[in-house]
A and B are shown apart, each in its own frame.
Chain A
């Protein structure tokens, strides 16, 4: 009799383990199928739906396993309710990250592939999860930031704007013809295809410095080409000014020394 009960219990334990394993694999298959599916939705939403499906499948598997073991789910649910309160208090930080993650995904502040600066960290968003966000820094490291930190940080999303303004300051000699220098700079900007014609580039005398007349150059570029074109323009302006005989002075200080 005892051995029959033991066998029955053993069979139920085996069946419940199989239920959990099957549910786990179903969840895994569902996750991979959703990730591969041709769905027109942002990748971070697809990623989170896939993970949620896997979690739901595992929870269903556990519930099936518990019912196979003939454990009363009503009592368990009441206990889960109390446990939920306790866990909720204990896992406040995790929950705040979870809600921050949901808010980030719904609001769309960050998307996979966006060029962003979160706090002092600058890079490309590689994933927006429910608990954390991953950014591949320009130096190559992958930084994982808890979502609550992301939400409370200043976020600069450079991919949200299709165009960005570049500001460059350049000093020319006090002996140089300012109008000529401005015309040369404007010509360089006009010849560059990706410097936007509207809003028009502006070159102004910004400051009379210690060693140079400081010109400020403001122009707009498509965001994706910002850094490439900006550095090309700095080089081309320097070359064009030098070619036309306009000196770009460097800071010099003269000290008088009298020997007696």
Chain B
């Protein structure tokens, strides 16, 4: 199977062993995986967890900053990269990044997090391998807040295809409590502001990240 930066070869070398070979930017790596005889091999678009580092978040710079004034709410469409997940019998056994992989440090190096980086240059390298995410911004802060970046938790996130073959990322909710306390939830079902208070109804256990070092 051809990939944007190389190729992926999945071979069944015996009854219970599969070899996965990734050729990315000319460099080839392979591994053997034990399987059950009747296991299916499936390829699916997944949130960007591939690459040399294991991360739990995406650091996304917004193409243009969003300014939120008191009590307002706005919806925004964000493009995020996706990776290719290789599943054998329902288990994720390998991940292949489809575009350029970079990382970003959010916060100070001793207490911050390293996340997969996503900005326009990264997105452009992915071409069609991007998912759209609906981002809902809300503010409970009295002060005007400008948001130029988001740290999106990806542990609970998922990518799904629409009937039009468009990829969508789980919905993202951004709640500004103060400029130094911005909560980001992924996989939120619904939420609303009632009498100035945020009422959230969560579907399952949505992933959660608090941006404490500025947004």
B112 touches A196 (CB 8 A): no
A198 touches B110 (CB 8 A): no
A196: contacting residue among B52, B105, B119, B122, CB under 8 A? B105
Report if A222-B110 is in contact (Cβ < 8 Å); known contacts: A193-B51, A194-B52, A198-B117. Answer: no
Residue from the set A162, A197, A222 with the largest chain B CB neighbour count within 10 Å:
A197
CA distance A146 to B187 in the complex (A): 52
Residues of B within 8 A of A195 (CB): 102
Per the CB 8 Å criterion, the residue count for chain B at the interface is 18
- Interface bracket on A: 10 to 19
Within residues 184 to 205 of chain A, which ones have a CB less than 8 A from any CB in chain B? Answer: 190, 193-199
| CB of B129 within 8 Å of the partner chain | no
CA distance A222 to B109 in the complex (A): 9
CA distance A195 to B101 in the complex (A): 10
A197 touches B101 (CB 8 A): no
B103 touches A196 (CB 8 A): yes
B103 touches A197 (CB 8 A): yes
Residues of A within 8 A of B113 (CB): 162
Closest to B51 in A: A193
A196 touches B101 (CB 8 A): no
A161: contacting residue among B51, B101, B109, CB under 8 A? B109
Residues of B within 8 A of A194 (CB): 52-53, 103
A193: contacting residue among B52, B104, B106, B109, CB under 8 A? B52
Residue from the set B101, B110, B113, B114 with the largest chain A CB neighbour count within 10 Å:
B114
Residues of A within 8 A of B114 (CB): 162-163, 196, 222
Chain B 147-158 interface mask (CB, 8 Å, partner A; 1/0): 000000000000
Within residues 80 to 111 of chain B, which ones have a CB less than 8 A from any CB in chain A? Answer: 101-106, 109-110
B53 touches A198 (CB 8 A): no
| CB of B59 within 8 Å of the partner chain | yes
Closest to B59 in A: A198
A197 touches B119 (CB 8 A): yes
Report if A162-B104 is in contact (Cβ < 8 Å); known contacts: A193-B51, A198-B117. Answer: no
Residues of B within 8 A of A164 (CB): 109
Chain B 42-74 interface mask (CB, 8 Å, partner A; 1/0): 000000000111000001000000000000000
Task: Name B's A-contacting residues (CB within 8 A).
Answer: 51-53, 59, 101-106, 109-110, 112-114, 117, 119, 122
